[in-house]
Amino acid sequence: MILKLDAISKSYKDKEALRDFSATLKEGVYGLLGQNGAGKTTLINVITGILNPDEGKVFFNDVDVKKMGVDFVSKIGYLPQFPQFYKNFEALEFLRYICAIKDVPEKTGEKRIKELLEMVNLSDVADKKIGTFSGGMRQRLGIAQAMVNDPEILILDEPTAGLDPKERIRFRNLISKFSKDRIVLLATHIVSDVEYIANEVILLQKGILIKQDKPMSLIDEMRGKVWEVKVDTANNQEFLDKFSISNIVFNEGHYSIRVVSEQKPVEGASSISPNLEDVFLHYCETGDGK
């Protein structure tokens, strides 16, 4: 199973959303990381056929998806950034409705719905109206609706935005469960969402592919570029203005500041182990990786 994006470009009037984006995805979880406005949603809309690219093509198993038509669409499960639900529908009723839209046979659909409600931990509220659900419950229902047709490609656009830490962890665990034998593309600007579950990370900045690699490989490239500096309160703002900062901790009258820098920022700075947050800051915020 191979999803290939070949030289995709897309502009809106005078704004370039994607520029010559090429990537190859196989079975596994791909974290699509970028700041808000980096082009993540545009890329997703091109893959799903919501938007046509100005240039480039999308291929699935070496076939142009435009030629596949609805056959390709039927292979996709999609959870948009702002999923819309009929609040007066019960969860079970809503999933049956989605099965009908996706042309899932009734017998197959009923079995699939039961399995999915159990997997997303909503079986006990299947007969409750969606309007009474919390944000986390609605997101779990959203991933269930994306999975009713047992898709080969699962696309999730900022799925944990607005969720509390506990719900984010629960959602990441769900994504891991659903990743077997399918391509999962998880678009987010929350690095922790992909750090532990992504097979590969795709870094997107201003519509341009900056990096695509395994998380540990990206982290290894940052060794010698992350520093800890202890700063007193008087010099704190000066330091924030001068360097790229990934974390600040106040302890015993001074700040311990985590600095991302190609060079040792100041005398006394200690080199420390990098993480994916540092990678994201280095490539997607400072632009040093361009």
Q: Kindly report the CATH number assigned to the domain that includes residue 128.
A: 3.40.50.300
The better pLDDT of the pair 17, 288 is held by: 17
Q: Where does the pLDDT of residue 289 fall: very low under 50, low under 70, confident under 90, or very high at 90 and above?
A: very low
Specify the DSSP class assigned to residue 125: G
Average pLDDT, integer, range 196-213: 92
Q: Which pLDDT score is estimated for 31?
A: 94
Instruction: Please report whether residue 79 resides in a domain.
Output: yes
Q: Which pLDDT score is estimated for 126?
A: 95
Contact (Cβ atoms closer than 8 angstroms) between residue 190 and residue 160:
yes
Contact (Cβ atoms closer than 8 angstroms) between residue 120 and residue 148:
no
Instruction: State the total domains in the chain.
Output: 2
Gap between the Cα atoms of 210 and 267, Å rounded: 31
Domain span holding position 243? 224-272
Q: Are residues 246 and 131 in the same domain?
A: no
The better pLDDT of the pair 9, 244 is held by: 9
State yes or no: pLDDT of 152 exceeds 70: yes
Going by C-alpha positions, the residue among 199, 149, 151 that lies closest to residue 32 is: 199
The better pLDDT of the pair 19, 245 is held by: 19
Average pLDDT, integer, range 68-79: 92
Instruction: Please report whether residue 16 resides in a domain.
Output: yes
Q: Which pLDDT score is estimated for 121?
A: 87
Arithmetic mean of pLDDT over the chain: 89
Q: Which pLDDT score is estimated for 167?
A: 79
Average pLDDT, integer, range 112-119: 93
Q: Are residues 255 and 122 in the same domain?
A: no
| Residue that is last in its domain, among 219, 243, 263 | 219
**How far is the CA of 184 from the CAs of 55, 117, 200, in angstroms?**
24, 20, 11
Contact (Cβ atoms closer than 8 angstroms) between residue 4 and residue 157:
no
Q: Which pLDDT score is estimated for 3?
A: 97
Q: Using one digit for the tens of pLDDT, what is the confidence trace for 30-41?
A: 999 988 888 999
Q: How are strands ordered across the β-sheet holding 244-251?
A: 244-251, 254-260, 226-232, 270-271
Q: Using one digit for the tens of pLDDT, what is the confidence trace for 159-176?
A: 887 778 887 888 888 888
Q: Which pLDDT score is estimated for 290?
A: 40
State yes or no: pLDDT of 105 exceeds 50: yes
The share of the chain scoring above pLDDT 70, in percent, equals 97
Contact (Cβ atoms closer than 8 angstroms) between residue 25 and residue 185:
yes
Q: Are residues 153 and 136 in the same domain?
A: yes
Instruction: Please report whether residue 229 resides in a domain.
Output: yes
Instruction: Please report whether residue 281 resides in a domain.
Output: no
Kind and range of the H or E run holding 252: none
Q: Are residues 80 and 102 in the same domain?
A: yes
The CA-based angle 167-168-169, given to 5 degrees, is 90
Q: Using one digit for the tens of pLDDT, what is the confidence trace for 218-244?
A: 999 999 999 998 887 656 677 777 888
Q: Are residues 22 and 153 in the same domain?
A: yes
Residue linked to tokens 């046509």: 52
E strands in the chain: 3-12, 15-25, 28-33, 55-60, 63-64, 76-79, 153-157, 183-188, 200-205, 208-213, 226-232, 244-251, 254-260, 270-271
Q: Are residues 141 and 246 in the same domain?
A: no
State yes or no: pLDDT of 17 exceeds 60: yes
The sign one gets for the Cα dihedral 103, 108, 110, 111 is: negative
The pTM assigned to this predicted structure is 0.87
Q: Are residues 245 and 205 in the same domain?
A: no
